[in-house]
Structure 1
């Protein structure tokens, strides 16, 4: 039975994180069974992992030239592996494939997260050993869990992630063979060739997208999300809504909805955004041969933010992913919010390390298709793309109840409308005069008005730039800003250097 990826992909480390791969020169039952046990326990919901036999490793990476497994030893290794895996409790068998690569043979063992956690393995292979250990995987090491981690394992026993659960309302016929084969071909899996003649049930079992019980064959949620023609039948509002507000009045709205298999709706939504929303500007600078090129919003940041929303959305929540496109920003909202291990302060400072992923299987498929990055790298990629484009820093938000997660990507300052139209200026000035006449802010002097007008025209100005433009002292500028913020006229979004001022309406 083949694994749902290929050895070239595993050796590159570009799709499957190194922490989920372990390399062994030979089959060593004493050490390797512990690793299989740890992957099966999948304490952090990574999606299990891979054991590649026939590869020397150095610092967790494959060492070249590749060694391979001698052909005459393969049969013996496989028989011993089967016998030793029977020592795992509860019963668990990984999926094993003999792969050919660069003229040599390798044994690839795929150990996905099991459905009957926690699993234990013998402490050693001696005949008189009676001690069993619940091994877990941390970073790139197989370890004995602490008491707290052991409690976590027991808590996971009845907590299978939603995407990995069996869907009792669906049938095997709801999975589409064409979608499955298209996916296998795209990722270069050896299963693609076998799928032409392979029994459909065996194919689905190899991909771990159906229940393994012979008497009760039902699709898993992740199989329906990617390989059903209409996943919204089983997961209402499993869709992406792109809503555009061309102006700030809210009178005109353009809305487009993307449905279908998750990877298809993601790609279609990204293509629409790339063709209809993203704009490029080229500015020729005197004395410089190369023109300045930048976008209102860089595609790489949008791609990562929207892919992360698809990855981390709760598909048992009946809410779509919404992409709101306003005159000066794009806001991507999904439900529910971030895991409670991610603090509000960490979000503000872009320091994020999630203890567990909500959808371990969805992540596997998206990474195989290069639609999302590895562990906890999304924020960094978004920030780098915005920085390279000269855009303000992003804003990541969730609420205390963790009901939503919002990513705000601000447009490049040169794309933000620099001068408000007369009617909007009149509305703001009327509101200021009304508040002054009501006695809400005390004396609103000329310097306060100058600062507000400057911010209206150029929302990206920093305090230093306001000092230079207005010709008044920094302390006066800061006093005016404090008064305007305290009384609800303005707020700052993003960092001091790359943020943007918002006029509150």
Structure 2
């Protein structure tokens, strides 16, 4: 009997009576909703004594009778002041005086027979996904209003207490995006994106960073990053580069100067990896994203992985966006933080190539995804493209060739020829982004433009790539 957000009920009564507890029970079993009561307010908008007494007594009466936590507040409804009882969905079916009520289409009825069986056997109904589960302990007032304003595009100076129409519009926008339920409580995604301390409601909604030196086991020192998801991404990257990847190089006017360690990957690539880990994590696991820093590598590990049919080769190749948390990814896309096209892995690889840094390696486990950035080997980029075997002392998570490279080698072998190292490098780059030009590729690979164009011709002759559109505005497409 799952209730859709658009059909969440609103019941109206003139005064609070004992039978209102039957109504609250029915609304909670139906997925939550609101109960609107008349309020006695003077001309100045001050609640009169009788209404004030009712406001104080209702939450306790509901809690005692139904073991349910409900909020009550004064609202404007149709131009007049009313009391609004916000009723959350019952986590399990509840009864009042031995009867199970269910509110639907304006009627509160007692369930029996098959209808009662369906209510008492939730496994017969679709599960509510983690993303849209309500966080009944929180409300709009608990969220960071600057983050809410950024997401909804409203003024940061809006007073949600007095600007009730504005608050209603904001709630509607958040409900439409899956960040709030129809009864005014944030969802897990709403808390994750818009609350300053989401770990208070979502276990493990943090990032842990540890420095292990040249060994595993217990970290030598560590940090835990808190805050909204966006803040966690930025704070993780800043902490990594300022504390874990920098060395003291000297003193200037009594102030220590720092520089990044040799072979440090580009900041934007690591930012993309941390963002991917937080966006695609399985939050039901209660496990933080873990960033392990060794002397020769950074490994970013999260519980959650792409579809089980995907191999590392599929992950490295062209693929559609298949997020574990589609509501969260849609919200991040709306904020302009991700593009939602499944380009995250390609973006990391391309950023490293352009910076002349070693390409990251990837590993897919049963329920985890790990990306590792090498720190201390300048030749890792060449090796990752040219050599399918791991380099000694480097723990590459990628143990198979990218699909496009394996296919290219097989095609060349069938034609009794082989690809040069430059051919494979050029192919790897245009597989990530077919819009790359010869000058840009030449600059990134430190080779001449003529060498790049020869690789273009060779790849085209072997049938590995084709040009779509004109030389000026077209792009390369890997077959």
TM-score bracket relative to the smaller structure: 0.3 to 0.5
- Which of the pair has the greater relative contact order for Cα pairs under 8 Å at 6+ separation? 1
Q: TM-score, normalised by structure 2?
A: 0.47
